[in-house]
Amino acid sequence: MPTDTTPAPIVVGVLDPEVETALLEYAGRLAATSGHPLRLVHVVQANVVFGDPILGLPGAMQPQSMIIDDAGVGRLAEQILAEATAVARDVVAGAVEVSSELLRGHVAHVLIEESEDAYRVVVQRRGFSRIRRVFTGSTSSRIAAHSHCPVTVVPEDWSAEGRTGVVVGVSDDKSDGHVLGHALEEATRLGDPVTVLHGLDLPALHGDLVDYATTRDWTARGERYLADLVKRARDQVPDTQVPLATRVFAEAPADALVTASEEARLVVVGRASHLNAFPHLGGVTRALLREAACPVEVLPLPG
């Protein structure tokens, strides 16, 4: 657990280091440039009979498999952690400490608990088919919806080579200032410019009533909103001088952000704050976590 003098760790959920090179590369670079230690966590999944440990619904854990010897599972898990730790230490090159721990339970639940004392939780998006995701759900989405700290989801085939820029998606939400301020800090760390995207999604709002005048008026309103948002964000992070551009577009926000992710180094979004009673990602964020070509960072609502 971090102390007043020890930076909070970057918690990395490790499943299989042989296919998680992108995850370990991203997390290692983040740790080395931010000064936060890496904590690699491998969770031995415990099946839940009924219930949901994330939502606090009662259920019974199956502590071990009847088919695979539990000691064998432990040995394999320790090997996985050792391999991942070796890769992570090569990436950070001594800049920060790298530690690891084997834990048991529901993967998403364990990582959500770990997020309480973490600087960041980083996980990899596995290349499941859309059909499989319908039936299995998304562990990364569950973590992002309930985490106490920012969560970064890294695509399985991601590489930073040839990429630049931090893209921020805002939606005229009360958390937009918090999201943009965080993105400016990340861009300063990376030495990259920031682009703020605000989608109006006029066809969804107005259907056949959308015309040139409507688009013009809503675009002008969006541009005024972004100008005020940028001014407030600059005041919050006065020391950063990273280039910052804004763009209002009259199309589906999810499509525009996914397209922007094809060249960006990072996309930053927040949770939806209009349903405060329940953790909620929103459709745009869920689409990004499924389809984005670069890492997506999801911020919890500001306290």
CA–CA dist 10, 27 (Å, integer)? 8
Work out whether strand 151-155 and strand 266-270 pair parallel, antiparallel, or are unpaired.
unpaired
CA–CA dist 95, 71 (Å, integer)? 34
Three-state DSSP state, 248:
strand
In CATH terms, the fold of domain 166-297 is Rossmann fold (3.40.50)
What letter represents residue 107's amino acid? V
Residues of the chain with pLDDT under 70: 1-4, 46-72, 127-137, 201-211, 273-280, 303
Bridge partners (DSSP) of residue 191 are none
Calculate Rg over the CA atoms of the chain.
Answer: 20
Domain ranges across the chain: 10-155, 166-297
- Chain centre to alpha carbon of residue 122: 7
CA–CA dist 216, 218 (Å, integer)? 6
Give the per-residue pLDDT at 203. Answer: 54
* 176-190 helix and 21-34 helix, angle to the nearest 10 degrees: 90
8 A C-beta contact, residue 264 and residue 165: yes
- Chain centre to alpha carbon of residue 197: 18
Give the per-residue pLDDT at 67. Answer: 41
CA–CA dist 277, 72 (Å, integer)? 43
Q: Do domains 10-155 and 166-297 have the same CATH topology?
A: yes
Show the beta-strand stretches assigned E in the chain. Answer: 10-13, 38-45, 47-49, 60-62, 98-105, 120-125, 151-155, 166-170, 194-199, 244-249, 266-270, 296-299
Locate tokens 């969804």: which residue? 204
Q: Please provide the distance, in angstroms rounded to a whole number, between the alpha carbons at the two ends of the chain.
A: 21
In CATH terms, the fold of domain 10-155 is Rossmann fold (3.40.50)
